[in-house]
Structure 1
């Protein structure tokens, strides 16, 4: 019995050490030491095992449960990143219309304009645009945006005149940051739509070798406050879902696909770490309350997410329940689409719209209340 207990406690200590190393790996920029990013991906396993040892020792010897229990308490914010739990949360209705903001964020996959994405009668494209246009959201941030201007001839009618439908016709101001305009005049990029006046706007480049970039807009709320909204799309994994599935479905698939997938994963992690460092420097200079909407192309246990979580509240981790997966595909439990808010915001609600299946990403909405400015601000 003593030998078994000693072995179990040794395993507990090793898991605690593993957990601490994994947390340290999350904070290391992949562009300075890329192997750390793979160590960071083991963090949810270490968190789960540590929690299992808490229950094990509570049943066996409560005194020995102190170590994993203390570690679980200290690392609870990291646990919440992947599995949000708020059993005792209560919502106080203290907001007023002048300081409450509803934000919608979605990667719309260029509204399925490409032939391989289309369905009969462009049903998914029409439904997606209509849902966005009719949304009650005050601010809409879209990634992988697509628009056909009025002066562009189109055999698809008005389906892809998305700026007009989501913007002017829906009573919203529009700001489109274009990464590409093709030979026919169609626009690709990211976009912000707002029911509030846009006072100032801008684009943040990630360099000439990528079309991924960021944009921001300063908005004037009815109560007179100015806020800044950032919308960005970080570097893609450049990995096909079918290749990932094949890599773990069989031994031959693993041998054929794994090396290529790892190389692309490594390149993506390095690029995203450089991009997020560029953005964080910009965030730190902003004097307004900030809201962020993003397709991070990264998991909650990554350097990119960690840098944002160090500066902002994540909407889902703060008020959501469960994993909050936003990827609409065969890979489960993937949350790569996120909203964040600076400290002057109270997050009231966050929702993943799994009932909107028109893209490979599910949209998210969140409701924020802007706190009154304190004397020190």
Structure 2
């Protein structure tokens, strides 16, 4: 019994480590199915924790195995579900916000007759806002949104990804922008902001490859996640998993373009935000996190669910910053119902000797 329990403990730990290790493997360079393994990370964590509890109750000496497995996986656990002390932002911080708006919430109106999402964005008084899926469906809607942004004192710039708009609203002038990568309705753009005549801040807005699951397919995915023991019986399972794997490979290609851009601009003031369409245990997240600071990992708390549909209870929207900033109070606002995403925000404090604080007053 003792030997069998030890074997089982090590088996669960190796499963956990295997899931965590997939972030180092490029799905576009190996097998696209690698991206599916990382999705099992939270279930492996629960399995190891359950094994630890069992050992603590019945076989105390074996408890060191799952405990060691969890400690060795600390970095991945912190990526997925960070726990931090409250970090109220000091004065002089830059507030940034990223929001996949689902076409501005299909232009739902509030009691004032304004587009609810646009009013929400303006009420946050962020200095820089990155928007994904910002389709207008007509010039009148676009003029209404831009009018609200102008009243808030924003400069704005849009890029059309095959009918799916991506944009930045900023309190600082936008000198120009460039497309880093594009694949139909997804991609990434770099916007060059000028907080002062002698200063340039690069803001990268990302909307990486979607899984392209229909409502019916998301329902099947929900069934797979909720009933892993009966996954083989679920109709259409293979087609759903194939789509998820293919999107993981395509995201890896986009992230490779992104990392090349980041490497070319190393040492410059840079903020990267957006919808990754991938979990914190993924090649996409790891590659960016190895170059920039993850604001939510550093200052947020909990899983931070940012996609609010079906079984995808995970953070797929992110804010990253270069060493020129120290993040504070990253949070996901789960009170806003207008889109299938929740907005994510953070405060960034300029670091002495790296950014002029006067530029952000």
Q: Normalising by the residue count of structure 2, what TM-score does the alignment of the two structures yield?
A: 0.85
- Helix, strand or coil: the match of 2:271? strand
Tell me the CA shift for residue 123 of structure 1.
8.9
**What's 1:349 paired with?**
329
Select which of 256, 260, 268 maps to 1:277: 256
Q: Quote the Cα distance in structure 1 between the aligned partners of 2:133 and 2:209.
A: 12
**What's 1:127 paired with?**
116
Q: Quote the Cα distance in structure 2 between the aligned partners of 1:345 and 1:272.
A: 27
Write out aligned runs for 1:158-197 (5 A).
158-162=140-144, 164-180=146-162, 188-197=164-173
Q: Is the 8 A contact 1:129 1:165 kept in 2?
A: no
Tell me the CA shift for residue 57 of structure 1.
4.3
- Asked if 1:69 is matched to 2:67, the reply is yes
- Asked if 1:7 is matched to 2:8, the reply is no
Equivalenced residue count is 347
**What's 2:130 paired with?**
141
- Asked if 1:313 is matched to 2:311, the reply is no
- Helix, strand or coil: the match of 2:68? helix
Q: 1:333 to 1:121 in 2, by over 3 A?
A: closer
Tell me the CA shift for residue 63 of structure 1.
5.4
Q: Is the 8 A contact 1:132 1:166 kept in 2?
A: no
Tell me the CA shift for residue 124 of structure 1.
9.5
Tell me the CA shift for residue 60 of structure 1.
5.4
Write out aligned runs for 1:1-377 (5 A).
3=1, 5-31=2-28, 32-58=30-56, 64-86=62-84, 89=85, 91=87, 95-97=90-92, 100-113=93-106, 126-147=115-136, 152=139, 158-162=140-144, 164-180=146-162, 188-207=164-183, 210-221=184-195, 225-246=199-220, 248=223, 255-286=234-265, 287-373=267-353
- Helix, strand or coil: the match of 2:236? helix
Tell me the CA shift for residue 367 of structure 1.
0.8
**What's 1:184 paired with?**
none
Runs of 5+ in structure 2 lacking a partner?
A: 355-361
Residue-by-residue CA offset, 1:187-244 (whole Å, 9 max, x unaligned): x41001110232442222335xx23121112333469653221101111111023333
Residue-by-residue CA offset, 1:51-85 (whole Å, 9 max, x unaligned): 44445445556654444333322311211222222
Root-mean-square deviation over aligned CA pairs: 3.0
Q: Which moved more, 1:160-169 or 1:29-38?
A: 160-169
Q: Quote the Cα distance in structure 2 between the aligned partners of 1:65 and 1:353.
A: 38
Q: Which moved more, 1:278-287 or 1:312-321?
A: 312-321
Runs of 5+ in structure 1 lacking a partner?
A: 153-157, 182-187
Tell me the CA shift for residue 276 of structure 1.
0.7
Q: Is the 8 A contact 1:112 1:125 kept in 2?
A: no
Residue-by-residue CA offset, 1:270-302 (whole Å, 9 max, x unaligned): 111111111111011113122111111111222
Which structure would you say has the larger RCO, counting Cα contacts within 8 Å and 6 or more residues apart?
2
- Helix, strand or coil: the match of 1:130? helix
Tell me the CA shift for residue 46 of structure 1.
2.3
Q: Is the 8 A contact 2:307 2:340 kept in 1?
A: yes
Tell me the CA shift for residue 354 of structure 1.
1.5
